[in-house]
Amino acid sequence: MNREFTDWDLEQWTLHGVMPSLDFGDYARIEQKRHGCDNEMYLHKVIGTLRSNTYVDVPVQSPAKEIVHDEIVDVVTCVCCGVSETTILKYRVADVMHNKLYLAIN
């Protein structure tokens, strides 16, 4: 269930690097590689979270491809809004920014 993003969340992220948790239905921003100009943060809808050693490296190249890594980490499964809403990919939680946090600092 979505919960409200508060000033406390922003303070925790700013002071301690603690990212708000991502749950089903939340929106997240993930950096996409663009050639010849600055990278862009694309909006993704969160499907769920799990632990895995297979995820897409960020910034995301086109086409996005999940790669097997050595360590198992927390990942989030997402669909990219407006691009291919039928493809579910896994991204490392450390590489993902909660959309409300993104909007608060930009």
Give the Cβ contact number of residue 26 at 10 Å. 23
| CB-based contact 88:77 (threshold 8 Å) | yes
How confident is the model over 77-88, as pLDDT tens digits?
999 988 778 899
Other Cβ atoms less than 10 A from the Cβ of 89: the count is 21
Distance between first and last Cα of the chain: 25
pLDDT at 1: 37
Three-point CA angle 38, 93, 15, nearest 5°: 80
**Residue range 17-32, pLDDT digits in tens:** 556 678 898 899 999 9
CA-to-CA distance for 77 and 44, rounded, in angstroms? 9
CA distance 75 to 59: 15
**What domains, with CATH codes, occur in the chain?**
7-105 (2.30.30)
